[in-house]
Amino acid sequence: MRELLVRSISGIVYVSLVVLSAFHRDVFILLFCVFAFFCLIELMPMIRLKQWLIYPILPLAYYFIVWQTVPMIYVYVLLGATILVNLYLIRDLVLVDRIALFNTKKHVIALLYLIGSSLFLALIPDVARNGNYITDYQPQLLIGIFAIIWVNDSFAYLTGRTFGKHKLMKRISPKKTIEGFLGGLVMAIVAGAGLFYYLKSIEVEGYSIYDWMIIAFVVALFGTIGDLIQSKIKRQAAVKDSGSIMPGHGGIFDRMDSIIFAAPFAYLTFLIINHVS
């Protein structure tokens, strides 16, 4: 009972910080930079990377790419590189027993899998479209992406616990089931549809109901994959949690692994929808 209470309180604090900060761009960028920095601190020992020069790269990247903004060509290059690295990690997840962590790959994982992906989470509010116009900043998009992830995680757990019989990837995450994965995915798509009607009610109308259902599918699918990749990294490092900063939850990276991994794929989906619509 006490553990559930502690877990609930720390979860409420985390959600409150995310939602409240999103409505103030500078506060949001600072908070997410701090979150990403803690994720980096937790990741580095797990991949056995001892390179202190990587740490200052993260705040510098947030300053120049997110806060100051850079020409979009650089964002597209970073997006392509980040997605390629994440796709390679999906290949490692499915095809090999252990992720090969040679020195160059460790640096690439830290720089693109974590720092690069987290940057696109912070850039999502700036890619929004409202009606026929690209807007400067839409915090509702970011909150919507988090809501989709939270719905996916919650219903994957509930469906898996109630109906789960077939393991998704037993060696990596024994508690995850195919039934739970499908239940979370379906409810995430439903949440995407619900998000469309909510945004329409507050006159944020840049994306159709079908757009939001596609976005929800992408976020839930790659969010689940991101969670599995982080689980595989933890298993190789022989640790249960990435850290202990969040009582009852583990580390910041344990809470953000899904959404960080899904972020560049979500950002790309928004770009494609902006282009074709």
Specify the pLDDT at position 177. Answer: 93
Asked if the model's pLDDT at residue 220 lies above 60, the reply is yes
Write out the residue range of the structural domain in which residue 150 sits: 2-276
Average confidence (pLDDT) over 165-176: 88
Mean pLDDT, the chain, integer: 89
The size of the chain, in residues, is 277
CA atoms within 13 A on the CB side of 115: 24
Percent of the chain with pLDDT over 90: 62
Residue 173 pLDDT exceeds 90: no
Task: Examine the pLDDT at 214 and tell me if it is beyond 90.
Answer: yes
Name the domain count of the chain.
1
d(CA 43, CA 176): 22
With cut-offs at 50, 70 and 90, classify the pLDDT of residue 261.
very high
pLDDT at 131: 46
Task: Note the pLDDT of residue 134.
Answer: 47
Tell me what pLDDT residue 12 has: 85
pLDDT band at 2 (very low <50, low <70, confident <90, very high): low
Q: pLDDT at position 141, please? A: 87
Alpha-carbon distance values, 21 to 25, 27, 31, 63 (Å): 7, 6, 7, 17
Residues 6+ apart with CB under 8 A from 275: none
What's the pLDDT tens digit per position in 112-154? 999 999 999 999 988 865 444 445 678 888 899 999 999 999 9
Share of the chain above pLDDT 70, in %: 94
User: What pLDDT is recorded for position 118?
Assistant: 96
In the predicted model, is pLDDT for residue 248 greater than 70? no
Number of helical (H) and strand (E) elements in the chain, helices listed first:
10, 4
pLDDT reported for residue 136: 67
Q: What is the mean pLDDT of residues 54-65?
A: 95
C-alpha count within 13 angstroms, C-beta hemisphere, residue 48? 9
- The pLDDT tens digits for 64-81 are 999 887 888 999 999 999
Per-residue model confidence (pLDDT) at position 1? 60
How far the first Cα of the chain sits from its last, in Å, is 50
Averaged pLDDT for residues 259-265: 96
Q: Where are the beta strands (DSSP E) in the chain?
A: 129-130, 133-134, 167-169, 173-177
Average pLDDT (218-228) is 96
